[in-house]
């Protein structure tokens, strides 16, 4: 698909008529690359530079700037610029014409992607699942591209940083990302930030899934969450949510031996949470390629998707041939970090810790305990370890005051402090809560 030259010329002509026209087209998200004709793209680029420097844009000043940049002849020369300036009687409809240019540009991108898809489909050497994931990435890229920016100067990012700081100061917010619902933890992390990979790690039976679900049920009160479960079915996950939210024993729920009060809580909990936006993605051992593909599709259908949770990392495969399990886990870790950046939301990955924890006198986890890959530590923006002393010293738990207590240890924090938050944990409900609420 080509383009209507008159529409593109109208946009450039309007920029030479009124200063506010540049504000209008920039607000619509018009980029240099949206112009089909290279000569008009050069004029637009030069006009934007002049606007940034507060230099008036008209036929003479635009020609001078293009000449200074060495672009004048490629843009068609001074007479061509004067001609375009006289074609446009008013800048009133410049937004409308900018949207048309963007629309035509998008359609050309779709056509180009279609050609790439056709070529990939006919390539006999490509794995079909990998090809499908690449195709979905290409299509997702078209819809996502309008929100992306190109090179940004320091002034722009510094102004944005100052605005964020001023807003935080004015509003007095201590949490700037997604809140976990656990006060002490949120004070340490200031919330889970967009683009961040958060790894939640512990030994078996400490409460990794319960912790991830607790965060999930807090977030879905305000935003959609995608929960990829590879260890449990969707029915088991629903049972877990009911038990934690209603404070009922899982065994009693499964066997139907609830008393009237407990059953009343189950009914109330089910009614309260059933319409919350939790998107459960069961699927056994997903590959990194499949998970990324599913997450993209969910984001396309749910633009407000705020969090992806993966339970758990070691049950995934990379989907590619690697030199061993360590390289496989490294590839998975990198894919999850790339997914967080691509969707611009936090990704929480539950991870198993290695058995070397059990061999030490001190059982509290360390970064070196992350199972099978140091790449997990490298990719993660935040590493959270869960530790319950009563798992290792049950006979002394009451005396030591560790019964029902879980230490949430921040082992790595790329943009903040390390520290430990203590939460209440009721094992029979698989429920975490703020410590002061445990009674």
Q: What is the pLDDT of residues 289-308, one digit of tens each?
A: 778 778 887 887 888 899 99
343 or 157, which is more confident: 343
CA proximity to 289, closest of 233, 328, 231, 237: 328
The domain made up of 1-173 is a member of CATH 1.10.860.10: yes
CA proximity to 219, closest of 342, 116, 347, 408: 347
Q: How many residues does the chain have?
A: 439
| Residue indicated by tokens 């705020």 | 306
Q: What is the pLDDT of residues 170-221, one digit of tens each?
A: 766 677 889 998 999 999 999 999 999 999 998 888 889 999 999 999 999 9
How would you write 165-188 as a 3-class SS string? HHHHHHHCCCCCCECCCCHHHHHH
> Is the torsion defined by CA of 87, 89, 91, 93 positive or negative?
negative
**How many angstroms separate the CA atoms of 201 and 207, rounded?**
10
Determine the pLDDT at residue 438. Answer: 42
Structure-block tokens of residue 7: 């529409």
359 or 372, which is more confident: 359
| Residue indicated by tokens 């944990």 | 425
**How many angstroms separate the CA atoms of 278 and 219, rounded?**
9
Topology of domain 175-437, per CATH? Rossmann fold (3.40.50)
Of the listed ranges 233-247, 251-265, 289-303, 347-361, the one predicted with least confidence: 289-303
**How many angstroms separate the CA atoms of 307 and 305, rounded?**
6
Structure-block tokens of residue 314: 């070691």
Q: What is the pLDDT of residues 42-96, one digit of tens each?
A: 999 899 888 867 789 999 999 999 999 999 999 999 999 999 999 888 888 899 9
Structure-block tokens of residue 191: 């919330």
Q: What is the pLDDT of residues 374-404, one digit of tens each?
A: 778 888 999 999 999 888 888 888 888 888 8
Structure-block tokens of residue 272: 């309260």
Instruction: Return the number of other C-beta atoms located less than 10 Å from residue 169's C-beta.
Output: 9
Residue ranges of the domains in the chain? 1-173, 175-437
């Amino acid at each position: 698909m080509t383009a209507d030259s008159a529409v593109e010329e109208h946009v450039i002509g309007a920029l030479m008529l009124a200063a506010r026209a540049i504000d209008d087209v920039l607000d619509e998200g018009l980029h240099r690359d949206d112009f089909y004709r290279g000569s008009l793209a050069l004029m637009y680029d030069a006009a934007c530079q002049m606007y940034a420097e507060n230099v008036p844009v008209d036929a003479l000043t635009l020609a001078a700037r293009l000449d200074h940049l060495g672009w004048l002849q490629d843009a068609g020369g001074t007479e061509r610029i004067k001609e375009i300036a006289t074609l446009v009687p008013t800048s009133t409809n410049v937004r409308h014409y900018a949207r048309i240019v963007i629309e035509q540009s998008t359609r050309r991108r779709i056509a180009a992607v279609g050609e790439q898809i056709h070529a990939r489909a006919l390539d006999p050497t490509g794995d079909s699942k990998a090809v499908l994931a690449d195709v979905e990435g290409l299509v997702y890229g078209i819809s996502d591209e309008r929100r992306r920016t190109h090179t940004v100067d320091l002034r722009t990012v510094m102004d944005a940083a100052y605005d964020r700081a001023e807003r935080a100061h004015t509003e007095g917010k201590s949490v700037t990302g997604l809140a976990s619902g656990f006060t002490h933890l949120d004070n340490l992390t200031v919330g889970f930030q967009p683009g961040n990979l958060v790894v939640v790690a512990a030994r078996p039976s400490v409460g990794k899934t319960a912790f991830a679900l607790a965060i999930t049920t807090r977030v879905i009160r305000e935003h959609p969450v995608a929960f990829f479960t590879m260890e449990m079915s969707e029915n088991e996950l629903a049972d877990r949510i009911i038990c934690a939210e209603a404070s009922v024993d899982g065994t009693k729920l499964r066997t139907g031996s609830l008393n009237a009060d407990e059953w009343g809580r189950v009914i109330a909990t089910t009614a309260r949470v059933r319409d919350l936006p939790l998107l459960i993605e069961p699927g056994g051992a997903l590959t990194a390629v499949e998970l990324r593909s599913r997450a993209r599709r969910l984001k396309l259908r749910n633009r407000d998707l705020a969090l992806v949770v993966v339970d758990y990392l070691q049950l995934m495969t990379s989907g590619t041939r690697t030199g061993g399990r360590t390289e496989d886990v490294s590839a998975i870790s990198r894919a999850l970090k790339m997914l967080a950046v691509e969707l611009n939301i936090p990704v929480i990955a539950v991870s198993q810790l290695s058995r070397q924890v059990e061999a030490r006198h001190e059982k509290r986890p360390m970064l070196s305990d992350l199972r099978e890959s140091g790449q997990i530590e490298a990719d993660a923006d935040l590493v959270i370890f869960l530790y319950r002393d009563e798992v290792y010293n049950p006979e002394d738990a009451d005396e030591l005051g560790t019964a029902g207590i879980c230490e949430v240890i921040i082992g790595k924090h790329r943009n903040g402090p390390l520290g430990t938050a203590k939460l209440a944990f009721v094992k029979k409900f698989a429920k975490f809560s703020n410590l002061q609420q445990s009674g």
